[in-house]
Chain A
Amino acid sequence: MEKFEKITGVAAPLPLINVDTDMIIPKQFLKTIKRSGLGVNLFDEMRYDGEGREIPDFVLNQPAYRKAEILVAGENFGCGSSREHAPWAIKDFGIKAVIAPSFADIFFNNCFKNGILPIVLPQDQVDRLMDDARKGENARITVDLEHQTVSGSDGTEFRFEVDPHQKHCLMEGLDDIGQTLQKAAAIDSFEQGYAARMPWV
C-alpha cells in the first residue's frame, strides 16, 4: 500500500446523512474482476442518469471537483453492506480522505485496509469544512495525518483522533499482509515444525 502523505487539495461537499454502500457502489458492479476501475461508478446512481449520461448537478460531475482528493459528508457515512467495493471505488476515484461526523463501523475499518483516512470531527467543524468545500478550488483543505490535523482555507486547524496502530499502518503504507509478512520468520519456523509433525498436510 502507498504511504499516506499530507494532502492539500480540493474537497467535494456531499452534505447527506446515511450515505450507504449501495449509493457508493451499486450491486451491479460487484461482478467485476477488478478492485481498480470502480472509480467511474462511484456514486453511480446519483452521478449518471438511466442512459449513462452525467447528471451535471452532481458534485463529482462539476469541473471543480473532478479531481477532488477529499470528501466531506454527513453523519453515518458508509452504512450498509460490508462490500470492499465501496472503499475500492472511493480510492480509485482519487479520494484519499473522507471527513464526516460519524462512520459506519465496517466501512470505517475497510477504509484503513485500503489506504483511505476516515476522519471524525464534530458537526460544527464539519460544517465549516463543508463551507470551504463548496468553494472548490478557491478553498483548499489540508489533511495532515502525522500531526492529526485538518486545516481549512483560512488556516484554522481542527485536531482529530486516530487509533495509533491504524495511523502507523497508514503512514508507513503497511497493509495487513505487509505486517504479517514481517512475521515471515515465525511463519517459516511454524511451517518447518508443522511439516515435521504433520508431513501429510
Chain B
Amino acid sequence: MSPKTLYDKIWDAHVVHEAEDGTCLLYIDRHLVHEVTSPQAFEGLRMAGRTVRAPEKTIAVPDHNVPTTLDRTSGIKNEESRIQVEALDKNAQDFGINYYPVSDVRQGIVHIVGPEQGWTLPGMTVVCGDSHTATHGAFGALAHGIGTSEVEHVLATQTLIQKKSKNMKVEITGKLRPGVTAKDITLSVIGATGTAGGTGHVIEYCGEAIRDLSIEGRMTVCNMAIEGGARAGLIAPDEKTFDYVMGRPHAPKGAQWEAALAYWKTLFTDEGAHFDKVITLKGEDIAPVVTWGTSPEDVLPITAAVPAPEDFKGGKVDAARRALEYMGLTAGTPLSEIEIDTVFIGSCTNGRIEDLRAAADVLKGKKIKEGLRAMVVPGSGLVRAQAEEEGLADIFKEAGFEWRLAGCSMCLAMNPDQLEPGERCAATSNRNFEGRQGRGGRTHLMSPAMAAAAAVTGRLTDVREMM
C-alpha cells in the first residue's frame, strides 16, 4: 500500500460512495450546530417532512448572539438575537439533539464546548456551519466549516458531498523562545503564507514545536487554519491527546476506550507520504507578534514598526494603504507605541483555561491602564467556573477587567459587545477585518499574554519586557 497522510487515512475511513468524477459522499461523525447558520436548515427539514438522521451525533449550543453580561439570565433584549436563540432551543427539542442552552453551565462557544465534553475525538469527521470548525483538527479530526444548505444535508443524511482537497504540510521545527505561544505560531504561519496560502488544501501541522504544544495550544493553531485559506488543519494525535480526551463525558470508556486507543495510534502520516505543498518555519525564529492591518496576514513581530504601502508588491500596495487608513496608523511608527482603548480576551481561538492562565500570569498584582476598557469572556461556563476556582477571576477583576459569561462576544460583535468607530482593541480573537468587532473598530490580533501586557501599559507591548 502506498504511504498515506493523516488526512488520506481519515478521508478513506469515511467514504460512503465515490462517483466517477471523484465526488464523494463522506460520512460525518459529529455535527455541531449554533443559532446563526442553522434555523433555515431546520426549517428546510420541516418543510420536506424530514428528520435528523443521527440526533445522537448532533450537538447544538447558542454562542454568537448571546449576551455575556450577568443580567442575561433575565432574557436577551435584542429581539432578532432572542428569536435566533429561541429557534435553536425549539429545534434542539423538536429534533431531539444534544443541547446546551444558555442557562446550562456547560454552554459556551461551540468549538470549545465540543472538545470539552469529549464530543470531538481523534480520527473523526466534524462539521459545523462555522468556518472555525478547523479548531477540532487539534485532535487529529478532519473538521471544517459548511454552508446552510450543507448543514441541512448533514442533518438529513449524516453525510456531506465533497471532493478531496490537497495535502499541505506546515512544519515548525525546534523550540519556541520564552514569551512565544501557539497564537504567535499560527499568526506567523499566516504571515508567511498569506491568507490564500492554504486554499484548496488541508494542512497538517507537525514538527517539534507543535508536538511540544498542549492540546489547547494546538487548538489555537488549528483554529486559524481557515485564516490561512485552508478549510481544515490537522495535528496527529499523541499521548497528550489521549490524556486530554480520557474521562470526558462523551469519550469512550472501558473496552471501547481500549479499542479506540488502538485505532487512534494508527492516525499519523506514513513515512514517505506525498504532500502537495510544504512550508517550514523555525520555532526559534518566531517572535511574539501582533497584526497591524485588516487582514490576518498583516503580521509583524512586536519589535517592528508599521510598514509602508510601498513595502509591498502588486495589489497589496493598495490594500495596505487602505488598511493603514482604516487603522489610523502611520508608516514607521513602532508597533509598541500604538495606544489602545480596549482589550478583549476570549473567542474560540483563545478562550480556554490555559489562555486565561497565561493572561492572569501577566496581570497578577497589576492594574490595567486607567481609562481602558478590558474584558475577559471565557469560552465556556466550565472554563469560567474553573478560572474562578483557580483564583484567576479575582486577578482579572482586581486588575480592572470585566469578568463576563461565556459566548463569542466581541469576536464578531453580533451581541452588544462592540467597538465604537475608531476604538482600538487588543484582541485574542482571529479576525481583524474592517468592522469585524463593530463598525469602524480597529483590531490588533495577538496572544492572551500579549493582550494582558497591552492592558497594563495601554499600548501594544512586548510581553517579554514583563517576564
Contact surface of A with B, Cβ cutoff 8 Å: 31-36, 82, 84, 88, 113, 176-177, 180-181, 183-184, 186-187, 190-191, 194, 198-201
Contact = CB atoms under 8 A, between A and B. Distances in A.
B269 interface: no
A177 B153 contact: yes
Contacts of A113: 149
A29 to B, nearest CB: 10
Nearest to B78: A31
B16 A176 contact: no
A51 to B, nearest CB: 20
Given A35-B40, A200-B259, 7 more contacts: A33-B83, A35-B43, A183-B17, A191-B158, A199-B256, A200-B252, A201-B121
Given A176-B153, A200-B260, A34 B43 contact: yes
B27 A177 contact: no
Interface in B281-308: none
B27 A190 contact: yes
Contacts of A35: 40, 43-44, 148
B50 interface: yes
Contacts of A82: 147
A180 B121 contact: no
A16 B156 CA distance: 39
A181 B16 CA distance: 12
A33 B156 contact: no
A36 B44 CA distance: 10
B147 A187 contact: no
B16 A33 contact: no
B159 A187 contact: yes
A76 to B, nearest CB: 21
Contact of B27 (A33, A184, A191): A191
Contacts of A194: 27
Contact of B87 (A33, A177, A184): A33
Nearest to A190: B16
B84 interface: yes
B39 interface: yes
Interface of B: 16-17, 25, 27, 29, 36, 39-40, 43-44, 48, 50, 53, 57, 80-81, 83-84, 87, 121, 123-124, 147-149, 152-153, 156-159, 161, 252, 256-257, 259-260, 263, 414
A105 to B, nearest CB: 15
Nearest to B42: A33
Contacts of A183: 16-17, 25
Contact of A177 (B29, B48, B257, B414): B48
8 contacts: A31-B36, A176-B153, A177-B50, A180-B25, A184-B157, A187-B53, A198-B123, A201-B57
A177 B156 contact: yes
Contacts of A88: 40
Nearest to A184: B157
B174 to A, nearest CB: 36
A32 B44 CA distance: 14
Q: Which of A35, A82, A183 has the most CB of B within 10 A?
A: A35
A70 to B, nearest CB: 24
B83 to A, nearest CB: 6
Nearest to A200: B252
Given A187-B158, A201-B29, A33 B39 contact: yes
A180 B16 CA distance: 11
A175 B63 CA distance: 30
A187 B157 contact: yes
Contacts of B25: 180, 183, 186-187
B43 A33 contact: yes
B256 A176 contact: no
Contacts of A201: 29, 57, 121, 124
B84 A33 contact: yes
Nearest to A194: B27
Nearest to A183: B17
A195 to B, nearest CB: 11
